Structure formats: C-alpha cells, structure tokens
C-alpha cells in the first residue's frame, strides 16, 4: 500500500484550486530615453548690415544666376551682392526674419535694395502691402 500525501495547510484534500491568486502588478519604470541634444547652431557672423525698402516679385523668369525663378523659394535680388550670398532680412515691425539666397539682380527702383521672392516676403510681412521697410544682415558672400 502506498501512503497518501498529506494535504498542505492551504489546501484541503477535497477542494480544487479555483484560481491562482492575482499577482500584484509592479509599476513599470518608464523606459529610459536618452534625448539627443539639439545641435547648437553657430551664430552666423554678420559681414555687413543696413536698412532699406524691400518689395517682392513672383513672375516666372530667368534669374541673373541662370536658374529659373521660383516664387516659393527663399531667394532675393540685390544690385551688387555676389550671387549666392546669404542675407537675413528682418521686418522691424513684427520682429520676424527670414534668410534668403541672392540669385538675381535688382530692384531698380529708388529706395529699395532687396526684391524678395513672394514666399520670403510673406514669411515676414503682408504681401498686400507690396513694399516694407526692412533691416538686413549679410551673413555670407
């Protein structure tokens, strides 16, 4: 004859376990994320600066640089800056600024030194005005 095992104190010989006790959920630690620091931009060195009137244009045409004018690009015309120069244009009324690339010549109207693409003008002012007074900073030639 084989001896029968004695029941454990938590179990009776006739009862069957109905369910396992629920395990308490341990709060999960938030996954550690290592945020990459944003690369620091070098402050652009200002070569020269000034203020003048600026207008905009948006008619398709060839530019002095030989590329087709794109009114949606951040470009501008200037009478004497080298083509390819980078210029920050600031609207002092709103404080908004845009950086444009000089790819054309002009404007040929007194009091104006920049002719911005429609997109560049709209980024800092109201195209309905047509002309605005701006500050500019030449960043690269």
What pLDDT does 2 receive? 55
Model pLDDT, residue 32: 60
Q: Quick one: pLDDT at residue 120?
A: 96
Residues whose CB falls within 8 Å of the CB of residue 13, separated by 6 or more in sequence, listed in order: 7
What is the H or E stretch that residue 121 is in?
helix 118-124
- Name beta bridge partners: 98: 89
Q: How far apart are CA 98 and CA 109, in angstroms?
A: 22
**53, 111 contact by CB (below 8 A):** yes
Cβ atoms within 10 Å, residue 67: 13
Stretches in the chain below the pLDDT threshold 50? 12, 15
Enter the pTM of the model: 0.68
Tell me how far apart the alpha carbons of residues 32 and 25 are, in angstroms, rounded to a whole number.
20
Q: Is residue 125 within 8 Å of 103, Cβ to Cβ?
A: no
Question: What pLDDT does 60 receive?
Answer: 85
Pairing state of beta strands 48-57 and 75-77?
unpaired
Tell me, what's the pLDDT at 140?
A: 84
Comparing CA positions, the residue from 92, 85, 95 lying closest to residue 52 is 92
Residues 83, 88, 91, 94: what is their CA dihedral angle, to the nearest 10 degrees?
A: 150
pLDDT digits (tens, 9 = 90+) for 52-92: 999 999 988 999 999 999 999 999 999 999 999 999 999 99
Residue 141: per-residue pLDDT: 84
């Amino acid at each position: 004859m084989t001896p029968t095992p004695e029941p454990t104190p938590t179990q009776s010989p006739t009862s069957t376990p109905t369910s396992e006790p629920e395990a308490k959920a341990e709060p999960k630690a938030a996954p550690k994320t290592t945020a990459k620091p944003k690369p620091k931009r070098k402050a652009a060195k200002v070569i020269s600066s000034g203020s003048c009137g600026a207008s905009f244009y948006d008619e398709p045409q060839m530019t002095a640089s030989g590329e087709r004018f794109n009114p949606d690009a951040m470009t501008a015309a200037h009478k004497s800056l080298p083509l390819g120069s980078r210029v920050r244009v600031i609207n002092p009324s709103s404080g908004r600024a845009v950086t444009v690339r000089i790819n054309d010549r002009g404007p040929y109207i007194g009091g104006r030194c920049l002719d911005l693409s429609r997109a560049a003008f709209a980024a800092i002012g109201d195209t309905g005005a047509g002309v605005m007074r701006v500050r500019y900073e030449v960043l690269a030639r």
